[in-house]
Structure formats: structure tokens, C-alpha cells
């Protein structure tokens, strides 16, 4: 069922610009600042490993001694950085982790997955109330309303459309 307010079409994102990608990565880094560990790496048990280590992605790093910002590629196949001969441990000793550089398509993919996760949770609530409604002898209208409401929430989440 299509949501009546779903947007038709999506404008080209300014995030397609490489400079904008760097600014977005820096913004993500600012957001992550309060969420990261004292080592500045996402997982304190794996220093030198970036967010999403299972994916080959570009990441923003800041050199510890100079503060220079660089973008480097993480190679998921060998779990190392694209800097010749340097693996995760060396990188964690030399750089602070700032954050991933995500393309508009990757951001959309992540948002879609998160929306689906939320919609699934709403659908589970729908099914819980639906089972109660089908077996209830009292307050069946209320329980049915709860079920239908949860179903509508799940549909609304799925039909949010692409991120602006």
C-alpha cells in the first residue's frame, strides 16, 4: 500500500561532490566524537579497525602529531589500510579515527536498512495485538485498533522514501 504523501523522485544530492563528502565525513566525526572511545577507534578492543570493517570504504583519519586530515581506504579483504605495509595496529598508533566517508547510495542503503528494522519492530507489535484480538473476548475493538495502528506505523516507516 503506497503512502499518499510519498515523494515522487529525488533531487541530485550535493553529497555527490567530493568536497561535500569530506565535509559530511567531518560532520559524522563531530557526531561520533561523543560516542567514540578514548582511543578514538569505534571498537576499543580492535584499535586501528574502522567502522564497518567488513566493507571496503574510505575513512577520514587525523594524524596524531600534526593534526593533518587524510582520507584513506580500508581494505576489507585483508583487513588493512591502503598505506603500503601498514596494518590496523600501526594506524591506531599514528592516527585518530574521525569517521567513514559514505556515498549518497551508501547512506540511502543504511537508512533503508534502519527503516526496515523499525518497520519490522512495528510489524511485530501488530502481530502481537492481532493474536490478542483474534482470541480476545473483551475489548476486541481496542486491541484491533492497536494492531491496525502498529501496521500503519510499519507501512509509514517503509514508505518514508529517500532521504532529502
The pLDDT tens digits of the residues spanning 50-96 come to: 998 998 899 999 999 999 999 999 988 888 888 766 788 888 889 99
Q: What is the pLDDT of residue 46?
A: 87
Mean pLDDT confidence for 100-109: 89
Residue boundaries of the structural domains of the chain: 15-102, 105-158
Task: Look up residue 5 and give its three cell numbers.
Answer: 504523501
36, pLDDT greater than 60: no
Whether residue 98 contacts residue 71, with contact meaning beta carbons closer than 8 Å, is answered with no
* In the chain, % of residues over pLDDT 70: 68
Whole-number pLDDT of residue 62: 92
Higher pLDDT, 115 or 86: 115
Task: For the full predicted model, state whether its pTM sits above 0.85.
Answer: no
Amino acid at each position: 500500500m503506497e503512502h499518499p504523501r510519498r515523494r515522487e523522485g529525488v533531487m541530485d544530492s550535493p553529497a555527490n561532490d567530493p568536497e561535500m563528502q569530506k565535509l559530511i565525513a567531518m560532520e559524522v566525526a563531530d557526531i561520533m566524537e561523543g560516542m567514540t572511545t578514548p582511543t578514538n577507534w569505534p571498537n576499543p578492543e580492535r584499535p586501528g579497525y574502522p567502522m564497518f570493517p567488513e566493507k571496503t570504504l574510505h575513512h577520514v583519519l587525523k594524524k596524531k602529531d600534526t593534526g593533518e586530515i587524510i582520507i584513506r581506504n580500508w581494505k576489507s579483504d585483508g583487513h588493512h589500510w591502503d598505506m603500503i605495509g601498514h596494518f590496523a595496529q600501526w594506524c591506531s598508533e599514528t592516527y585518530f579515527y574521525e569517521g567513514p566517508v559514505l556515498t549518497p547510495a551508501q547512506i540511502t542503503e543504511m537508512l533503508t536498512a534502519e527503516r526496515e528494522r523499525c518497520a519490522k519492530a512495528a510489524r511485530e507489535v501488530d502481530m502481537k495485538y492481532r493474536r490478542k484480538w483474534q482470541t480476545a473476548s473483551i475489548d476486541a475493538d481496542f486491541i484491533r485498533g492497536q494492531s491496525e495502528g502498529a501496521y500503519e506505523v510499519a507501512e509509514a516507516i517503509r514508505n518514508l522514501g529517500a532521504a532529502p
